[in-house]
Amino acid sequence: MEKNSPARRNFIKQSALAIGGLTAAPIIAAAHTPGSINPHDDNKKLIIICLGAHPGDPEFGCGGTMAKYSEAGHNVIFLYLTRGEAGDPNKTYAEMAALRTKEAEAACKILTATPQFAGQIDGNTVLDKSKNEEMAKLILAQKPDIVFTQWPVDSHPDHQVTGLLALTAWVKSGRKFHLYFYEVNTGVETMAFTPTDYVDITSTHEKKKAAMFAHKTQRPVETYNDYFKPLEEFRGLEAGARVAEAFIHFKTQADKISIIGL
Ligand SMILES: [Zn+2]
């Protein structure tokens, strides 16, 4: 396809730049959405929660997008389900939690996000009635406009739990906020991920890299080079950008009825 054909430009406008609050182009289904976001209201400060199982998951999965939100003046909260206690077999859980909490705080500072910790334990996360209620309470108390979370079809059980806790909170809220899923280590961890939306992260890419590399205990450079660099470039090719992050926007039944002209 020609690089700048009108068809290609339209495709990019509609599909690549469609995340709530980050777009100049209209969101096709905006009229049906139950949340409070009006894409034309530039003054509305959004509250965005990005939930991840371990310190590093939100940064690697969508740090570029979160940096764009905070640069635009929105409130970004990184909610870590655990403190990554099980990250090193040669250290105690307490030692590892202290180290990784510091790394998460440093990463959040770079991205202008507020770190929060939900108190579950790495490698042993629980999905049951009381944890669902706890998470729903924690999320809803902050009245988010958008929640990002991990796609639950994943080889890591903590990632599965994270995605489903957020999904249940969304259902319990009466689908009051927008829910987006992000991917990590696709092919090894995230599976069966077919994006609906893309964000061009070229402008915040260096910031994202600094935030990822703040997780010094996690071999961040190798992880980036082996998994996330090819992923960002691949998603960029799909979206017509140098580097991009991809998401699944989980829609209500009403939002799905959005074919143009019908
Ligand atoms: Zn993880």
Domains defined along the chain, listed by start: 49-158+165-255 (3.40.50.10320)
Q: How far is CA 188 from CA 50, 226, 227, in A?
A: 22, 11, 9
Per-residue model confidence (pLDDT) at position 33: 42
- Please tell me the distance between residue 53's alpha carbon and the centre of ligand 1 in angstroms: 5
Residue 38 is predicted with a pLDDT of 61
Residue 57 CA to ligand 1 center (angstroms) comes to 5
For the stretch 25-80, pLDDT in tens is 333 233 334 445 665 566 789 999 999 999 999 999 999 999 999 999 999 999 99
Q: Count of residues for the chain?
A: 262
pLDDT at 174 over 60: yes
Q: How many angstroms is it from 160 CA to the middle of ligand 1?
A: 10
How many Å apart are CA 124 and CA 110, to the nearest integer? 29
Q: How far is the CA of 56 from the centre of ligand 1 (A)?
A: 7
The average confidence (pLDDT) of the chain is 88
Q: Residues whose CB is under 5 A from ligand 1 (ion)?
A: 53-54, 57
pTM: 0.86
CA gap 249, 16 in Å, rounded: 12
Picking from 36, 199, 211, the residue whose alpha carbon sits closest to that of residue 115 is: 211
Kindly give, in sequence order, each residue whose CB lies less than 8 Å from that of residue 52, ignoring residues fewer than 6 positions away.
58, 61, 78, 79, 80, 81, 149, 150, 162
- pLDDT the model gives residue 8: 41
The helix or strand, by DSSP H or E, that contains position 223, with its residue range, turns out to be helix 220-223
Centroid of ligand 1 to alpha carbon of 132 (angstroms): 19
What are the angstrom distances between the C-alpha of 47 and each of 72, 151, 169, 184? 12, 21, 16, 23
In tens, the pLDDT along 214-251 reads: 999 999 999 999 999 999 999 999 999 999 999 999 98
Measure 74 CA to ligand 1 centroid, in angstroms: 25
CA distances from 94 to 49, 80, 99, 182 (A): 26, 16, 9, 29
Alpha helices for 73-156 (secondary structure H)? 93-111, 129-140
Q: Is the dihedral of CA 205, 210, 212, 218 positive or negative?
A: positive
Do residues 169 and 136 make contact, with C-beta atoms less than 8 angstroms apart? yes
Strands 146-150 and 114-117: unpaired
Distance from residue 76's CA to the centre of ligand 1 (Å): 19
Model confidence at 3: pLDDT above 70: no
176 near 35, Cβ under 8 Å?
A: yes
137-157 as b/e: b if 16+ CB within 10 A: ebbbebebbbbbbbbbebebe
